[in-house]
Amino acid sequence: MNASLMTLELCVLALGVVLLLADFWMPAERKKYLAYAAIAALAGLLLISFSGQGVCSLGGSAFHGAFANDALAVFFKRFFLLAAILVLFIAAEFSGRIAAGISEFYSLIVFALAGMLFAASANDFAMLFVSIELITITFYVLVSFQRGKLQSLEAGVKYLILGALSSAFMVFGIALIWGTTGELNFTKLAAVAPQFVGSQIFLLGVLLVLVGLGFKIAAFPFQIWAPDVYQGAPTPTTAFLAIGSKAAGFVLLLRVLFTAVPSVMHTPAFTNLLIIISGITILYGNLCALPQRNLKRLLGYSSIAHAGYLLLGVAALSANGQAAVLYYLAGYLFTVLAAFAVIAIVLQNVENEDISGLAGLNQRSPLLAATMTLAMVSLAGIPPLAGFFGKFLLLKAVLEQGATYHGYYCLAFTALVGVVISLYYYFNVVRALYWSKEPADLSPIELSSPAKFFIWVCIAGIFWLGIYPSTVLDPALAVAKSLGL
């Protein structure tokens, strides 16, 4: 047993506790700045993880294989650290609108991060369930944090009910898997799973686990909660849901599918299931986003569509597909966080977060307008930004499998239809930025210097991934190779 592998997670948990304690003796007006302390601490951990030694170093597993610190885990741990750092920036900008308990808000973000870090390493169904619950329960609180706002409370209740339901399904699935095979550990399960491919109960168990994960990533038909919760939750929470929670779902999905039950995945029925879910998710997200006027709701539907695109890479059942998923998530991180940051800053005083609230932004703050444009254009998948290369990789991975199974060609065409539909609503947002009629409010927006720093980091990330894809693609390919198939 090698508990030192968990140093990173323990540090993050300790940070969360410290933030909670700081609440006692920090004067109320300075509590806002706790976010920057947390950012500094997390940035330190991120830097150490890149130094190649210490907390995030490669190798080994702990707790009888329940906790694995392999290449996939390390990739996602860095990803989650970066996501949390950027979300804390947004939270600091947003702090004015949180009536009480801002330091709790920060510490809950950090606790959710700890859950995601555990999820990245989960190699056992018990570990998977505990880490998912750690993430989901903190999010119940984070979503309903604006206690004075009815929408926020409504979103919290919806998330709670549907989240609890999906957890129940998942536990049931885990129980069925354990009942049939007697294994909870992914690696051991992989060895025995081929004997159970014919067992209906075992397959039902796998299916129910996928239901739970499908809820986390907001894939059809478990996507119902996403638009409402995205709209009602405080913007930093929405941002963290969109990137952190979704990525946690994907890392667990990759683990379960490719480490625990690869033998099941290669049965035609499951391949078809993945293809169909991916296709419908893409179409559903994009079609429902078309009429939306509320920006966060629009991004909620767009996040469903993006879950569908990401599922393309999973459905391809290949190393290239997995690498494409990792790359796409990295691009999505900068893009979607940039968009939410703009929403958090610009729509401070706009009650309903309507697209028209962005009118005249290019006169109020050209930098924010350019950021939002880049984010939308990248989400739409237009070169030379990160989103284009990501979609290219996903499509390539799917077409690669087309030769063996023609259903993949149908999937690729569905994805194309989705991309074309999405152009309409993304460009609608861009149009509101630059060319809307008679903007009501033309007061310039002052950006704080941390916010400026944050914006430039996101812009640099969007361009960097689009222009130098190798920096992420090569590690992603290495991870995918180590994951095996």
Partner 1 sequence: MSILTYIAGWPLLAALALIVVPRDRQKTIRATAVVATLISAVLAVKMFAQFVPGVDGYQFEQQIPWVASLGISYHVGVDGINVGLILMGAIVAFAAALCSFEIKSREKEFYILLLVMTGGILGAFASLDLFFFYFLHELALVPTFIMIGVWGRGENKNFATFQITLYLSVGALIALIGLIALYLQVPADVRTFDIPRLTKYFAEHTMASGAQNFIFPLLLFGFGILVSLWPFHSWAPLGYGVAPAPTAMLHAGVLKKFGLYGLIRIALPLLPQAAQSWAHVIAWLCVGNILYVGWVAMRQKDLNLLIGNSSVAHMGFIFLGIASLNLIGITGAVLIMIAHGFLAALTFALSGYIYQQTGTLQISELGGLCRKLPFIGTALIMAAMAGCGLPGFANFVGEATVFFGAWGKFPVVTILALWGALVIGGVYMTRAIRNVLHGPLPEKWNVLTAVTHFWRKLPYAILLVCLLVFGFVPKLLTEKINPDAEKIVSQATAEKLVAPTEISGARP
**Interface residue list for partner 1 (CB under 8 A):** 377, 382-384, 388, 392, 395-396, 399-400, 402-403, 412-413, 416, 419-420, 423-424, 427, 431, 434-435, 469-470, 473-474, 477
Beta bridge pairs of residue 332: none
**Nearest distance, CB of residue 43 and partner 1, angstroms:** 29
Using alpha carbons, list the distances in angstroms from residue 120 to 141, 217, 322, 407, 414: 22, 15, 15, 31, 30
Q: How far is the CB of 178 from partner 1 (least distance, A)?
A: 38
* Closer CB to partner 1, 188 or 396, in the complex: 396
Which is nearer to partner 1, 43 or 370 (by Cβ)?
370
The smaller minimum CB distance to partner 1, of residues 144 and 362, is found at 362
- Rank residues 109 and 412 by Cβ distance to partner 1 and give the closer one: 412
- For the four alpha carbons of 166, 172, 178 and 181, in that order, the dihedral sign comes to negative
Q: Which is closer to partner 1, CB of 158 or CB of 306?
A: 306
Nearer to partner 1, 2 or 471 (CB): 471
221 preceded by a cis bond (ω within 30 of 0): yes
Q: Smallest Cα–Cα separation from 244: which of 76, 482, 74?
A: 76
Distances (CA, A) of 217 to 213, 256, 300: 6, 14, 11
Give the H or E element holding residue 310. Answer: helix 295-315
Q: How far is the CB of 34 from partner 1 (least distance, A)?
A: 36
Q: How far is the CB of 430 from partner 1 (least distance, A)?
A: 8
Q: How far is CA 114 from CA 14, 31, 45, 60, in A?
A: 10, 22, 13, 19
In angstroms, what is the minimal distance from the CB of 429 to partner 1? 13
Q: What minimum distance in Å lies between the beta carbon of 432 and partner 1? A: 13
Q: Rounded to an integer, what distance in angstroms lies between the CA atom of residue 222 and that of residue 278?
A: 12
Nearest distance from residue 260's CB to partner 1, in Å? 27
Give the three-state DSSP class for 39. Answer: helix
Please answer whether residues 462 and 342 qualify as being in contact, where contact means their C-beta atoms are separated by less than 8 angstroms.
no
Answer for the pair 308, 282: CB distance below 8 angstroms, yes or no.
Answer: yes
**Shortest gap between Cβ of 243 and partner 1 (angstroms)?**
24
CB atoms under 10 Å from CB of 40, counted, come to 11
Reduce the DSSP state of residue 372 to 3 states and report it.
Answer: helix
Residue number, 223 or 302, with CB nearest to partner 1? 302
Sign of the C-alpha dihedral computed for residues 306, 56, 317 and 188 taken in this order: negative
Give 62 or 399: the residue with its C-beta nearer to partner 1.
399
**Which lies closer to partner 1 via its Cβ, residue 168 or residue 416?**
416
Residues 418 and 286 sit within 8 Å (Cβ to Cβ): yes
Tokens of 470: 């190798």
Q: Which residues of 314-334 are buried (b: 16+ CB within 10 A; e: fewer)?
A: bbbbbbbbbbbbbbbbbbbbb
The radius of gyration of the chain's CA atoms, rounded to the nearest angstrom, is: 21
Shortest reach from residue 59's CB to partner 1, in Å: 24
Shortest distance, position 329 Cβ to partner 1, whole Å = 18
The runs of H, that is alpha helices, within 200-294 are 200-217, 225-232, 235-240, 246-255, 262-265, 268-289
Closer to partner 1 by CB, 10 or 367: give it: 367
